[in-house]
Amino acid sequence: MIGTPPLSDLFADDPGRAERYVVEAGDLRIDYSKQPLNDDVLADLLERARDAGVESRRDAMFAGEHINVTEDRAVLHTALRAPRDAVVEADGENVVPDVHEVLDAMSAFADRVRADDRITDVVNIGIGGSDLGPAMAAQALEAFGHPRITCHFVSNVDGADIHRTLQRVEPASTLFIVASKTFGTIETLTNARTARSWLVEALGDDAVADHFVAVSTNAERVAEFGIDTANMFGFWDWVGGRYSVDSAIGLSLMILIGPDGFRAFLDGFHTIDEHFRTAPLEQNAPVLLGMIGIHHSDDLGRDTKAVLPYAQELARFPAYLQQLDMESNGKQVTLDGDLVAGDTGPIVWGEPGTNGQHAFYQLLHQGTRIVPVDFIGFATPNHPYRNHHDLLMSNLFAQAEALAFGRRNPDEPHRNFPGDRPSTLILADRLTPSVLGQLIALYEHIVFVQGTVWGINSFDQWGVELGKELANRITPELTGDPDPTQHDTSTNNAIAWYRARRST
């Protein structure tokens, strides 16, 4: 690996840098000139991407090979946004007709709900990938939403979540979408049962058919739960939960922004899929940004990454990316089962600007840790207050400038800004459904590139299983007969403390 001089020197010595280190992908303009790169480092990084087989693994993913080896599954979220006439095969079958059949059914249903004045509220009950995507996107695209419809998202098994939502809606005007790939997730089933009881208490058993639909891959469990599978929208095991916002899991979003808006959202993904699939590595945004992340992690020892959208509507985007990135690449073994040699996925976090500026940016500017940043901004807002937007964007540009170039103040060390702090600037004209799809696909493929270089399986999530299993064991111990003394002493004591105090 080759190190680089400070950013101020890189810019001073290379006047063409700001033009050269920009890549366009769809409607996104991505400026990575404030990253610790020169042509040699970049060439080295792209060489490493080639050596790691990024291109062949990418092609294998698009071709429906079972690259998710621990679950022996294809990884085909890209088929969810393929146009109607595309051919994408999984296990020898073209899946595109099935994808569009479900999209058509969703569209007809969404149109019906949008036209039905009795429905004012849609409550999506799901968690993880069955919540974060639609929740994030519904907030991001509220400006494109149906004026009568409000979407709510209930995910946490903490009863406070469903309680708060049920207090805000009326049974007769609420549609519940129970969204769960497996339909076996305890949080979702618990929340769904509570919602169903609440509805039945007000409107009777017969109301369930009109007020509950399901989104799942598991028809049997949906039926067992008591939702007619005629009111179910399906998807497939080759769609990972955190890659599923563009499947039927996006039903709440489709109801909010309409089938045309949802199609534009999918087309945005597809634009970046095509870019990722066809652009040469030197011009390939997910490859470039993925390899810049590899440089930070593997070469420079940086273990976190901040994503800072200068758009209040993207407030949940960092949380969405946390699942996308950390559940995908938070892995310690390679595809062969060996321990990885170095670190893998970064800790992803962030908040919208300018709020973050008055909270954690102090550390970004003068702390001892260097945090690589992705800034996201738009030329035109989805609100009428242009003066606010000019202020917002001036802050965005100022922060990237201040981080990169700092300000020397040798006489007053506390006012010294060292600079040389890296950022990427991702800009687009406006946050539309298409642009949001493009942004999500960009990050999906960045995660893919990095997972490939680290030689890990980005598409399983075994790490979440142990906690689930232990919780299942502890649940009866909190209230009933099982002897709650079979754990370590700390856990035993905590359970005993809770048993002694829990209110009935």
Residue ranges in contact with ligand F6P by CB under 6 A: 127-130, 180-182, 185, 188, 241-242, 327, 461, 464
The rounded distance, in Å, linking the Cα atoms of 398 and 373 is: 14
Verify whether residue 331 is a known catalytic residue: no
The rounded distance, in Å, linking the Cα atoms of 371 and 363 is: 9
Q: How far is the CB of 60 from ligand F6P (least distance, A)?
A: 22
The residue among 12 and 464 lying less far from ligand F6P, judged by its C-beta, is 464
Nearest to 132 by CA among 394, 328, 416: 328
Q: How far is the CB of 2 from ligand F6P (least distance, A)?
A: 38
Verify whether residue 468 is a known catalytic residue: yes
The residue among 33 and 216 lying less far from ligand F6P, judged by its C-beta, is 216
DSSP state of 68: B
The residue among 297 and 323 lying less far from ligand F6P, judged by its C-beta, is 323
Nearest residue (beta carbon) to ligand F6P: 241
The residue among 463 and 482 lying less far from ligand F6P, judged by its C-beta, is 463
The residue among 294 and 326 lying less far from ligand F6P, judged by its C-beta, is 326
DSSP 392-415: HHHHHHHHHHHHHH-B--TT-GGG
Q: How far is the CB of 175 from ligand F6P (least distance, A)?
A: 19
Describe the strand order of the beta sheet including 373-380 as a list of residue ranges. Answer: 22-25, 28-31, 423-430, 373-380, 304-309, 347-349
Q: How far is the CB of 440 from ligand F6P (least distance, A)?
A: 15
Angle at 412 between CA 407 and CA 413, to 5 degrees: 75
Q: How far is the CB of 23 from ligand F6P (least distance, A)?
A: 30
β-sheet bridge partners, residue 426: 30, 376
Distance of CA 117 to the CA centre of its chain: 32
Verify whether residue 181 is a known catalytic residue: no
User: 270, 275, 313, 327: which is the annotated catalytic residue?
Assistant: 327
Angle at 38 between CA 37 and CA 40, to 5 degrees: 115
User: 358, 412, 465, 469: which is the annotated catalytic residue?
Assistant: 358
User: 163, 383, 388, 468: which is the annotated catalytic residue?
Assistant: 468
Nearest to 287 by CA among 33, 15, 46: 46
The residues assigned a catalytic role are 327, 358, 468
